[in-house]
Amino acid sequence: MLFDSKDTLLFIGDSITDNGRARPVGELLGLGAGYVSLVNAALGARYPETLVRVLNTGCGGNRVTDLAARWQQDVLDLQPDWVSIMIGINDVWRHFDRAVLSDQVDPEQFETVLTELVETTKSRVKGIFLMTPFFLEANRDDPMRAMMDQYGAIVRKIAESKDCRFVDTQAAFDRYLAARPTQSLCGDRVHPNLIGHQIIADAFLAAI
């Protein structure tokens, strides 16, 4: 197992990570109702000899620029040993549901800001997990799915160039969607139900 006893593992991201977590920092019973809680439960059940402190600072609606604005308070000040970042869903979605926004995060800005966050943090932690954003659509030619894949490829590129652990959540969902329809996971193709959160948790756990 990757973690040592008394390590702190912090998850940060958007609403998928947030999922009703407590404020100002989600911990213990305040981890939210999503994949972060599932990861925490799995770690406790599978490795009872290793006490890992799990924190959740996900925030609904966040884009990578929002993460940058709160990075000091919600990551660095908490002094985690490991950081997991899943961001990009809203960076893409805003191009489709709020196209009139003047501060859209294009792929170049997304890569620049996420790279800066990794570089700022890497020397302070034991390791960083980069999880791809995802869109629960099997048709890769769908415009939003195609753009999400572009942002996911950027996450992979940064993970490889900065020696981070890469978690391909889109690939995990694609395996499921080859057998079952999107409607069995969610209605908006973005916010998964508990089955979807289990898929995310399993993908993360495979990386450790």
| DSSP 8-state assignment for residue 10 | E
Antiparallel, parallel or unpaired: β 53-56 and 82-86: unpaired
From the list 77, 97, 106, 188, the catalytic residue is: 188
From the list 174, 184, 191, 202, the catalytic residue is: 191
Antiparallel, parallel or unpaired: β 53-56 and 26-27: antiparallel
Is 197 considered catalytic here? no
SS3 (DSSP) at 55: strand
Distance CA 41, CA 55 (A): 13
Is 191 considered catalytic here? yes
Is 188 considered catalytic here? yes
From the list 15, 37, 74, 91, the catalytic residue is: 15
Distance CA 1, CA 166 (A): 16
Residues 6 or more apart in contact with residue 57 via CB below 8 angstroms: 10, 11, 12, 21, 25, 26, 70, 74, 75, 78
Active site positions, annotated? 15, 188, 191
